[in-house]
Structure 1
């Protein structure tokens, strides 16, 4: 959807970028923002995160009820705007790491610096742990595995 190649805010992995909906107009153009906001109003009113595929020009709306309250917030649901499909996550939901990348440094919902320090803390444990399996970075995207790993390395949830 986005016409921009560089996003001033957002967590980017490959062609995907995740960002807080408050920054929508910083990432997409005006007409795209209107489409996304209309979909949010009609189908995902609680959505607070947008996932944008900058190559395919598609978007999903994501609801993370505890985005501001927890270090690694869980996804409650996603709404795929292009497919018109709502997916709920109840058991072992996906979680977000490095949520500070989805907002600007002056975001008021949570302590930006604390989120940055949290990322440094767990990434330091990853570097020190030589025996991680190959699928580690895929597995930490799920709440159960993440909580188990945090416990194993002695980091509070």
Structure 2
């Protein structure tokens, strides 16, 4: 504990040798210990950690000269005012409180085993478009030559197919829609330009399978849990980039920053990969390949790879 509660104190007046005993264990607002680095010698194992914390607290103005035995309420109030909290013996930005830790996440489309189902339509990444069958094959024949798309939306009510370009699908937490083409059941096609205030996709991990290599699927799931746990988010407006970026992303940034500060100072486990083995997204950037091209290269034996959990890593020599 960076600032343990004091439960009892014995005080001796040297001039009179009078002894006083104080029991603080039952106080609602007990006193705390601070500056623990001054209470141990140089050989104490955690001396450096104690000193680092004291310097942080003095720099932030949490500890003030002449103060002794701060109360728990005063200390917690100062931390809250400055938006800080303790992680072991370090100060980090306070993580925004979640409203409900038991978030009910959506599930991939049961009909196809992949895809996001909403409003009578299913959305899948292009890599999994084959699950949509012959109707998709027919619709693709109507697309202009060279038309690039990332996501396929199949409206199961009217039979329309939308082919949507999302250039930042693999890199953005909530990818934005670009230009798109709608193909009607009779083969007619209508092209639409990208919107100035584009729609964005949430839960992009639903669009792909668990072993998709374009981004960290589990990190995307954690992103969903994070924003779904926030209070006062107007879910009728979150589909637009303007609302999302102004009112939600800054709150998520507080959570992400606190997490990164913690991770950068404490060894929380193995790094993503060692110096030669790289993740799929890094390999694609180095080799300038698409996700599909990298998969074909792996399947053909053209690159050394290994599987770590449900992800692949590639040897860059």
User: TM-score, normalised to structure 1's length?
Assistant: 0.82
Runs in 1 of length 4+ with deviation above 6 angstroms?
Answer: none
Q: How many residues align?
A: 143
The alpha carbon displacement at 1:49 in A equals 0.2
If asked which structure has higher relative contact order (CA below 8 Å, sep 6+), I would say 1
Q: Equivalent residue of 1:76, what SS?
A: coil
Match of 1:142 among 229, 240, 243: 240
What are the ranges of 5 or more consecutive residues in structure 2 without an aligned counterpart? 1-109, 257-317
Cα 1:154–1:113 change in 2 (3 A) is: closer
Cα 1:25–1:151 change in 2 (3 A) is: closer
Deviations 1:6-42 (A, max 9, x none): 121111113111110111112x22x2232233344x2
Q: 1:87: which partner in 2?
A: 192
Q: 1:70: which partner in 2?
A: 172
Instruction: Give RMSD over aligned pairs.
Output: 2.1
| Pair 1:25-2:130 in alignment | yes
What are the ranges of 5 or more consecutive residues in structure 1 without an aligned counterpart? none
Q: Equivalent residue of 1:137, what SS?
A: coil
Deviations 1:103-156 (A, max 9, x none): 00101111100100000000011xxx2x45xxx223110111000122452436
The alpha carbon displacement at 1:44 in A equals 6.4
Greater percentage in helix: 1
Q: Which has the larger radius of gyration?
A: 2
Match of 1:48 among 150, 171, 177: 150
User: TM-score, normalised to structure 2's length?
Assistant: 0.42
Q: 1:153: which partner in 2?
A: 251
Q: Aligned equivalents of 1:99 and 1:44: distance in 2?
A: 25
Q: Aligned equivalents of 1:68 and 1:151: distance in 2?
A: 18
